[in-house]
């Protein structure tokens, strides 16, 4: 997998800043077993979100009740056809980036992306470059 780019647009709804992200990731699979055949199958593409701070990079986390959860998004990539396949995955999602919202300032994030094929073989991990997020609209 290789990082090809990111686009985002920001907006505010009910005083909460939201960001619609589109992360583009290149891929290739030699045996053509990438993607789920049935749409109700478990998710196979995962994206972890990291908060880039001045001295360190940390998982973004969300507190739900007594639990602290790493901020992970998962997606279902459909079957991409028989034989060797390659192309670009366009990963689109909506986020409120909780830590950025709590700090009420712009921030920098990184994504770690990987995918499993139907044989449960995990791809390489792709770490994106730093992505500047502007939450002050």
110, 131, 29, 7: which is closest to 77 by C-alpha?
29
> What's the pLDDT band for 96 if we cut at 50, 70, 90?
low
Classified by CATH at the fold level, domain 2-133 comes out as Immunoglobulin-like (2.60.40)
> Does residue 32 register a pLDDT over 80?
yes
pLDDT of residue 104: 47
Q: Count Cβ atoms within 10 A of the Cβ of residue 32 and give its class: 0-12 exposed, 13-18 middle, 19 or more buried.
A: middle
Domain ranges across the chain: 2-133
pTM of the model: 0.77
pLDDT of residue 90: 87
Look-up of token digits 């139907």: 118
Tokens of 117: 């094929």
Higher pLDDT, 4 or 63: 4
pLDDT of residue 135: 53
| 30 vs 41: CA distance, rounded Å | 22
> Does residue 26 register a pLDDT over 60?
yes
pLDDT of residue 105: 55
């Amino acid at each position: 997998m290789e990082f090809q780019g990111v686009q985002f647009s920001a907006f505010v709804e009910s005083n909460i800043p939201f960001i619609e992200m589109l992360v583009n990731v290149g891929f290739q699979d030699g045996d053509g077993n990438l993607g789920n055949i049935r749409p109700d199958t478990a998710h196979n593409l995962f994206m972890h979100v990291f908060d880039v701070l001045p001295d360190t990079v940390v998982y973004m986390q969300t507190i739900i009740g007594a639990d602290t959860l790493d901020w992970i998004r998962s997606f279902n990539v459909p079957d991409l056809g028989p034989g060797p396949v390659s192309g670009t995955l366009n990963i689109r999602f909506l986020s409120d980036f909780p830590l950025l919202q709590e700090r009420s300032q712009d921030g920098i994030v990184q994504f770690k992306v990987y995918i499993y094929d139907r044989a449960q073989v995990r791809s390489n991990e792709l770490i994106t470059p730093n992505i500047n997020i502007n939450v002050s609209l």
